[in-house]
Amino acid sequence: MKICVFFAVIIFFTYSSVLNHEFINYDDPDYVTDNPMVQAGLTPESIVWAFTSLNFSNWHPVTWLSHMLDYQIYGNDPAGHHLTSLILHIANAILLFLVFFRMTREAWKSGCVAALFAFHPLNVESVTWISERKNVLSFFFFLLTLLAYTKYANNKRLKTYLLVFSFFVLGLMAKPMLVTLPFVLLLIDFWPLRRVTLENSLKAVAPLIFEKMPLFLLTFASCAVTLLAQKLGGAMEGGVSFFARLNNAMVVYITYLGKTVWPTHLSVLYPHPGETLAIWKGVLSALALLIASFLCIRLMKKAPYFAFGWFWYVGTLIPVIGILQVGAQSMADRYTYMPLIGIFCLIVWGVSDFFPNTKFRIKSALAGITLSGLLIVTWYQLEHWKNSITLFTHAIEVTESQNSNFDLAYNNLGTALFEEGQSQAAIKNYKEAIRLNPKYDDAYYNLGLALLSDKKIGQAITQFEKTIELKPYYFKAYNNIGNALVSEGNLEKAILYFQKAIEKHPNFVDAHFNLANAFTQSNQKEKAIYHFKQVTQLQNQNAEAHFKIGTLYYSQLDFMNAIKWFLQSAELGHSTAQYNLGLIYATGQGIPKDFSKARMWWILAGDEEAKQNIVKLEKIMSSEQIQKSEFLKKEWHDGHK
């Protein structure tokens, strides 16, 4: 119990700075900040969507539900989302200790494995990147599965097996990387549970495989769904040959080990070298892997934890090692969250057994020095994840960035700088992204936005046109060409581009709104009203669109319709609509005068002109009218709490 409390306190202290971190502009918009289904919270519609969606080339409904619950509790405050991931990491470290302690009864060694896991800098990405909730959440269910399996191995009850099965299902629905779990259970059967030994392996292994057949079926089903999702999402369209992927995979196995021992130059993105990676590097890496595997097998009888730890590492990395290429990265820190447990076991048990005569206090001192070093690097690495600017600036500094796949880092850094008002720095990074990848449509689009904000209209239009050339259905580019043309006073041509944006995406609210404004400026009021109404149908809480419709009807002296739409806008809190209603009720335009309502609406409007009107109005109002106005104001406030 004391060890568990120790882990909880130290991990929270180590990672506490993450509570001040922001969302980042890499995947977080897709997973949280720009995802309307997640922002709806846990509703019947969003829950159905979570279980039926293959968005972003994945099927992970439990992860979606986790994000929905967080948004329902914390809203758009990143601190709460970070807190959930941190709590899961703390729970994972404690569960990892409990799992190995129950399997081995070795408290000190199990604690060291859990500590290496808890504080290793390679795990910072999984904990502090909100979009990687699926990593910490799936591993949580993975560990619960191991805990239940340890109990099942001792009593073999159906109820316990169903618990194993259920936790595995939940884990797969959080992230399909857990597909290797049945093989991990076979490793555990060998060591430390010793349900099978070298002497009786042929006789004993068959029933152990048979008892895991339901789990293997889950693995096959998950693999099929994942491959379908990634194919439909276009995530596997990398254009890298199988031989190049295999070559890279061999090198990455060794690279991960290097970063485990010496965790430097960690980056959110390691661009895939493609066909440029030297063949000899892959051959030497494959040879090293074979030699290590051979030595671990030779030591199986004397030191079975070597084979256990090594094949845990090699096996659990297979789904993400890049043989089936998904995305532009060659490797990722987050992929080591589960696999490195095997290496940590190998190190801890190996050091302890190979130096049996070393005093405990010396071993403790060595462990303390190692963990202190990891803590320092982890603190340092956490700072790079503070926001998108720090993250991608660091990635560019420490990574070989002259790779076309590194265009994303420059583009995302540009976007982060643009959001901070640093348009010139943003333009520089967008241009670098385009230099690395001349077909990067998002970079052209973002460059157009930055140029448009700098009033470089012609240059901005050129970038938006290039975007459309690369991606003809990029409806936002059509819309922004329209905005650029409006700024030049070319309403006729702007209208055509807004209409093209709507043609590409009929429910694009911004294009309807901009088109309505353009029709208003060109005095085509009926068309303007139609498109503002389209906005209100798509966004019924859009107070500005309601107000604009009211204004257009008012300009046509259609006071009844004007009042109707001003009322809807005023109910949504639009202060100018509230002021206009006060004016209409005070002057009796299209309706009888009502000083009580006029005063009420001017009070709600709250601007200086409204306050001056109230002073004038009260001079001609009776006390009963003022009292009624106060009642109406209170009634409005009560209805809008």
Q: How far apart are CA 271 and CA 408, in angstroms?
A: 10
How much is the average pLDDT of 381-406? 90
pLDDT at 6 over 90: no
Q: How far apart are the two ends of the chain, measured CA to CA in Å? A: 46
What confidence score (pLDDT) does residue 237 get? 57
Domains identified in the chain, total number:
2
pTM for the complete prediction? 0.90
Boundary-marking domain end, from 341, 363, 384:
384
CA-closest candidate to residue 410, choices 385, 436, 384, 387: 436
Tell me if 505 is assigned to some domain: no
Amino acid making up residue 182: P
Q: How far apart are CA 272 and CA 41, in angstroms?
A: 36
User: What is the residue whose two structure tokens read 């009203």?
Assistant: 529
Q: How far apart are CA 521 and CA 501, in angstroms?
A: 19
Instruction: Name every residue whose Cβ is closer than 8 Å to that of residue 496 and which is 6 or more positions away in sequence.
Output: 482
Least confident of 228-237, 409-418, 506-515: 228-237
pLDDT at 166 over 60: yes
Q: How far apart are CA 411 and CA 440, in angstroms?
A: 9
Tell me if 138 is assigned to some domain: yes
Interhelix angle for 158-172 vs 213-232, to 10°?
10
How much is the average pLDDT of 93-102? 97
Tell me if 85 is assigned to some domain: yes
Tell which wins on pLDDT, 365 or 336: 336
Q: How confident is the model at residue 401 (pLDDT cuts 50, 70, 90)?
A: low
Mean pLDDT, the chain, whole residue set: 93
CA-closest candidate to residue 22, choices 363, 328, 384: 384
Q: How far apart are CA 510 and CA 479, in angstroms?
A: 8
Task: For Cα atoms 585, 588, 590, give the angle at the middle one, nearest 5 degrees.
Answer: 105
Task: Determine which helix (DSSP H) or strand (DSSP E) holds 330, and give its type and residue range.
Answer: strand 329-331
Tell me if 406 is assigned to some domain: no
Task: For Cα atoms 422, 428, 433, give the angle at the middle one, nearest 5 degrees.
Answer: 120
How much is the average pLDDT of 174-199? 93
Interhelix angle for 525-538 vs 543-555, to 10°?
160
Question: Residue 638 sits in which domain range?
Answer: 570-641
Tens of pLDDT along 543-571? 999 999 999 999 999 999 999 999 999 99
Count of positions (residues) in the chain: 641
How much is the average pLDDT of 250-273? 95
Tens of pLDDT along 470-490? 999 999 999 999 999 999 999
pLDDT at 332 over 90: yes
Tens of pLDDT along 339-373? 999 999 999 999 888 777 666 777 778 888 999 99
Tell me if 550 is assigned to some domain: no
What confidence score (pLDDT) does residue 415 get? 97
User: What is the residue whose two structure tokens read 């109990």?
Assistant: 151
Tell me if 237 is assigned to some domain: yes
Q: Which two tokens stand for residue 523?
A: 């005095």
DSSP state of 32: I
pLDDT at 329 over 80: yes
pLDDT at 238 over 70: no
pLDDT at 326 over 80: no
What confidence score (pLDDT) does residue 201 get? 64
Tell which wins on pLDDT, 468 or 228: 468
CA dihedral (21, 25, 29, 34) in degrees, to 10, reads: 100
Boundary-marking domain end, from 362, 384, 406:
384
What is the Cα 70 distance to its own chain's centre?
12
pLDDT at 21 over 70: yes
Tell me if 415 is assigned to some domain: no
How much is the average pLDDT of 164-177? 97
How much is the average pLDDT of 225-251? 82
How much is the average pLDDT of 283-303? 96
Tell me if 428 is assigned to some domain: no
Boundary-marking domain end, from 384, 418, 435:
384
Q: How far apart are CA 425 and CA 454, in angstroms?
A: 12
| CA count, 13 A, side-chain hemisphere, 439 | 5
